[in-house]
Amino acid sequence: MYTRGQFALIGKVGRKALRLYDEEGLLVPVAVNGENGYHYYDRSHCSQRLKRNAWNHRQRRRSRRAFCKGRAQAKLCS
């Protein structure tokens, strides 16, 4: 199992992002240590993280296209 910091390095994502994913139920840790509050992830989370990266990339590209398309139309209309 990996700590949140270790998994952040493996998944190339920030620790804060992992915390937010946990809060939103998108990437929930396998275990949480009650004494120190460490969150632990395992290998199965790696594939989930890769899928999330791909999804985020697609969403950013779509939003950029929509933004650019909207700006282009605004210039034509004004």
Is the CB of residue 23 less than 8 Å from the CB of residue 31?
no
- The SS3 of residue 35 is coil
pLDDT at residue 78, rounded to an integer: 45
Mean pLDDT of the chain, nearest integer: 76
pTM of the model: 0.58
Q: Which residue has the tokens 């809060």?
A: 23
- Give the confidence band of 34 by pLDDT, cuts at 50, 70, 90: very high
- The SS3 of residue 19 is helix
